[in-house]
Amino acid sequence: MSDVILLLPFAALILINVLPRATRPAAWAIAAVVLAAQMAAVIVPPYWAFLDTIEKTVGFSLKLDRLTQLLVPTAGLAGLAAILVAQAGTATARTKLLFVNLLLIAIIGISGISMVQDLFTMYVFIEVTSVAAVILVVLRDGELSFEGAWKYLLLSAIASVLMLASLGMFLLTAGGVSFEEAASALSAGGAEAWVAAALFLSGLFLKSAMVPFHGWLADAYSEAPPAVSVFLAGIVTKASGVFALMRLAPAAFNGSGPGAMILLVVGAATAVVGAFLSLTQTDVKRMLAYSSISQMGYIVMALGGQPALALAAAAVHFFNHTVSKAQLFTNAAALERQLGTRDMDRMGGIGSRMPVTAGTSAVASLSVAGLPPLAGFWSKLLIVIALWRAGHVVFAVIAVLTSLVTLAYFLSLQRRVFFGTTPAEWSGIREAAIGYTLPALVLAAITVAVGLGFPFLLPILLGGGA
Amino acid sequence: MSTYTFLLPIAIPVAAGILTLLVPARARLAVSLLAVVATAAQLASAIWIFPMDGALSVAWLGYGIEASFRLTRFSAFIVVAIAGFSFLVTLYSTASMSKAPSTKPFFAWMLITAGLACGAVLADNLVLLVVFLGALLLTQFGMIAAGARRPYAVAIKAVVIVGLSDMCLMLGIMMAAHLAGTLSMSAMKLSLDGMGGIAFLLMAIGALGKAGAMPFHSWIPDAAREAPLPFMAILPASIEKLLGIYLLARVSLDLFTLVPGSWVSLTLMVIGAVTIVLAVMMALVQKDYKRLLSYHAISQVGYMVLGIGTALPIGIVGGIFHMINHAMYKSTLFLSGGAVERQAGTTDLSKLGGLARSMPVTAVCFIVAAASISGVPPFNGFFSKEMVYDAALESGWVFYAAALLGSLLTAASFLKLGHAAFFGRRAEPASGGTVPAVREAPLPMLVPMIVLAGLCVLFGVVNRIPLDGLIGPAVGAAVTGGRSFAGFPASQMLVGFTAAALLLAILNHWYGARRTGHGLGAVDHIHHAIFLEPVYSVAEQGRLDPYFIGRWVIGGISAALYAVDRAIDWVYETLAVTVAQGISRVGRRLHNGSVNRYVLWSLAGAAAVVITAALVLGGSR
């Protein structure tokens, strides 16, 4: 079954490229349908039996579980939003086709990450995702800008080296690279096993842009085309870094010991540094990029908390943040499209001109800052409780205080961009096209719905979150 | 007669007051007529219900809070007195207010005040009492504001001071109710030890605040300067004294049992003695008719508080007797002041003089009332003061000395006032020209004065009427022990001392008037005595006024708290923002886009993670 989930986007990829040229303008629609089908396949159980019969013919060591059910639909949402933005914001047919192709490749990688059960397969799928992502960053209509992509590529390469070295050490010391083998080697307490684990962790930290491995992210995010930013910030970095940690941490560290402490320290440092760096940015996308770093720090920090609750907290925050950040980058894309700039110092009073963008941006901002009753409030609350229950009071306090800084920079963004009087320069500005507003509205609606319905969702989450 | 009959003295004036508010302001005659008729009806109903006994209880808020009223000998007596004063002062006001720009608000507030005051007297539930007192606070504000030139400062001051004492009363009521388990005044009987003593003092403060004893007095002289004169005659001179002393007597006699020699008794006596002496000292040096009277309105409360505070039968009866006497002569005095103000156009004593010839009726009434307040036999004030002296001497010679000193200075100040206003020669106006002719006040103003002055004589000469007919039954045989205090004072010695004090006052006046050549300067040698002058000058500037000291202290606290608040605000608004932005800027400078730097950071981070993992593990092994 899990293979089918993997093969669906692969099939789509082949399909859009072998069909006659005349069908290429519809490639985005095929990709969108495939994504929807994939999401449905993961969520709706009746398909599973059907899929299982197909799986028996092929044999990967993949497993579909609740984390898969979290990641694939989340990735699907971000992917759909990115496709819509790309359709609205990309000029040439060739670029559109390339975008859909690369997006599907990345989705294959992400789908794989969602189901892996061993370190080597995880590494492979992370690399698949990263290759597609690096190319996406340079995918512009006209001029080419390599700096962001170059940094991304270089640091990804370092991550690859670290992870490969780790894999070698695990093969030597633990005799295998499956999660069980790695976990038993770690609990046996071999120093070599721990060094190997630390190397793999460092690789994942690099992929997820934890401090101090975060240098590449802001450049890559802000230089990427608008649609790519939505996809990249929404899911790619999270899937190949944070989600991999979510898969690995409970299996390998079981939420305690030095592994947990490393996660706590790195996560807290990331949350704090990212938030402070956001505070004085003037570029909308850069501010959102640092905000992403900060929020991913939260998720990693949560993983160091009380095991049962930690994974649920991390999973919910993962989902909420993907939805909100994909939406904020969609808003940023709309702003860049309509105004031709991302410089917040030049903006002001845009809210009366672009009410949908302004309103949805407010919802997402407040959610990420953790204001009740929006979705982000609940997940931050869960994170704080998970940390508190595990006895990490200091980290719980850091989590709460950092959300103050988060609120500060989001309010500052909202005020500088949307509030106040409209300068003459922007008096002719109109609301962005439906390709921008529809995803923004849908994602904001999800944020509100999850927030209001959270008390009903919580028992389901805790029932099988871990 | 229904069970509600005895509530008529409350209902009639309140209804009339509300009706007055509906009458057009231009119909001044209708307003005056309505007020006179309503207060006459109130008086008639009060006299009608006087011999009755009544009790009424209606479920109200629950938790023992009921709308319960009770008519007793005591409350009936006070209700008649309140209704009588309301009627006389209203009658007087119809003439004295004839030059005021608007009379409607004043009469409306006054009618409602008269009704609410009866309500407070008839209330048997302590919460109901507080409700009436609170409402009186509002009408008092309205009355001051309706006529004053700078209304709000004084009106607010009065509300703050009386409100503060009402708050003490509420605290006391809460404690008493907790101790007694009931809010009914007629069912309450507490001892004075421990918490009971504190509850008593708090309730007594409420009563004293109403009566205007020190230190709750300072709004009265200000009101005398600003508020319309009938206000002074009706509230600080009569109704508030009646209410406050009634309350003090009820608290001391019924709710608690005040024991002679107890610490609360001593506290009350000290308050009384201090009030007598300090207020009369201030009265002595006043140069304005109304202001001088207002300080006496404070000073005389001291006698009542001292009398009741002794807890001796003669003191209690004397204190209550003094209360009703004071209401009479002080109203007369204020009304005479109002007549002078209206006819001569000023109450500044330095511009008055020789009015006895042109205003003979007013002058006679003034002399009767002044003799009464100074304690000259056979007027009523003499008899009540002698009773208080008797009780004071028994409690301690200091208290007697203070009371006697107060008497002496009272006499001296009224000699000065009478001399300056009604005798001597009127001063030429500073602008030159002749002194304008002054005529006697109109009849509606004279009648109340004559009636009250007559009562002063009656209650003195035939003091059986008030003592055996009103006060004896009011306080009951439990207090009097069946004794009668009527007739001439028993102690020849005390009368002798009183006579000596009066003589001394006359001598002092003769000396002072001769020294300066006019009546107004009769006490200048006291005013400007070496050790008193600086004290007087500070007091005259209001710097000893507890209200302003309180405001100064509160202002200081407020300023200090504001400074703290600003400091905290600075931490949030400036410090936190500056620090956060500083950190952010440093971070931005470190992120200069150099890929070498980012690679270096990453490798260092990876090294740190690996080393940490290895070291931590090494430690745990």
Q: Are B227 and B221 in contact (CB under 8 A)?
A: no
Q: Rounded to an integer, what distance in angstroms lies between the CA atom of residue A5 and that of residue B508?
A: 117
pLDDT tens, position by position, B103-149: 788 888 888 988 999 888 888 888 888 888 888 888 888 887 776 56
pLDDT tens, position by position, A428-439: 888 888 889 999
Residue of chain B whose alpha carbon sits nearest to that of A202: B606
Residue of chain B whose alpha carbon sits nearest to that of A195: B610
Please report, for residues A6, A175, B218, the alpha-carbon distance to residue A114 in angstroms, rounded to integers and kept in the order given.
10, 24, 83
Q: Is A410 on the interface with B (CB under 8 A)?
A: no
Burial-class residue B248 by CB neighbours within 10 Å (0-12, 13-18, 19+): buried
The rounded percent of chain A whose pLDDT value lies above 70 is 91
Contact between B618 and A191 using a beta-carbon 8 Å cutoff: yes
Q: Is B592 on the interface with A (CB under 8 A)?
A: no
Residue of chain B whose alpha carbon sits nearest to that of A402: B580
Contacts of A197 in chain B (CB under 8 A): 613
Residue of chain A whose alpha carbon sits nearest to that of B609: A198
> Can you tell me the mean pLDDT for A105-122?
88
Q: Is B612 on the interface with A (CB under 8 A)?
A: yes
Q: Which of B572, B578, B603, B609 to mutate to test the interface with A (most CBs of A within 10 A)?
A: B609
Contacts of B572 in chain A (CB under 8 A): none
Q: Rounded to an integer, what distance in angstroms lies between the CA atom of residue B196 and that of residue B206?
A: 15
Contact between B610 and A279 using a beta-carbon 8 Å cutoff: no
Please report, for residues A210, B111, B338, the alpha-carbon distance to residue B445 in angstroms, rounded to integers and kept in the order given.
94, 18, 9
Residue contacts between A and B (CB atoms, under 8 Å): 101
Q: Is B619 on the interface with A (CB under 8 A)?
A: no
Contacts of A217 in chain B (CB under 8 A): none
Q: Which of B581, B591, B602 to mutate to test the interface with A (most CBs of A within 10 A)?
A: B602
Contact between B580 and A273 using a beta-carbon 8 Å cutoff: no
pLDDT tens, position by position, A257-308: 667 888 889 999 999 999 999 988 889 999 999 999 999 999 999 888 777 7
Strands B54-62 and B65-71: antiparallel
pLDDT tier, A365 (very low <50, low <70, confident <90, very high otherwise):
very high
CA nearest neighbour of A369 among A413, A331, A326, A335:
A413
pLDDT tens, position by position, B29-76: 888 888 888 888 888 888 888 888 777 777 777 777 778 888 888 888
Residue of chain B whose alpha carbon sits nearest to that of A150: B595
Contact between B613 and A259 using a beta-carbon 8 Å cutoff: yes
pLDDT tier, A465 (very low <50, low <70, confident <90, very high otherwise):
very low
The beta-carbon neighbor of B613 closest among A158, A194, A211 is A194
What the block records as the tokens of B521 is 């300067």
For the entire predicted model, the pTM comes to 0.60
B566: distance to nearest CA of chain A, Å? 21
Q: Are A216 and A209 in contact (CB under 8 A)?
A: yes
**H or E, element range at A201:** helix A191-207
What the block records as the tokens of B333 is 């005095």
Residue of chain A whose alpha carbon sits nearest to that of B585: A280
Contact between A151 and B595 using a beta-carbon 8 Å cutoff: yes
Q: Rounded to an integer, what distance in angstroms lies between the CA atom of residue A276 and that of residue A85?
A: 29
Contacts of A198 in chain B (CB under 8 A): 606, 609-610, 612-614
- The SS3 call for residue A392 is coil
Contact between B614 and A205 using a beta-carbon 8 Å cutoff: no
Q: Is A463 on the interface with B (CB under 8 A)?
A: no
Q: Is B529 on the interface with A (CB under 8 A)?
A: no
Q: Rounded to an integer, what distance in angstroms lies between the CA atom of residue A218 and that of residue B235?
A: 79
> Can you tell me the mean pLDDT for A69-96?
87
Asked if pLDDT for residue A348 goes beyond 60, the answer is: yes
pLDDT tier, B433 (very low <50, low <70, confident <90, very high otherwise):
low
CA A451 to chain CA centroid, nearest Å = 19
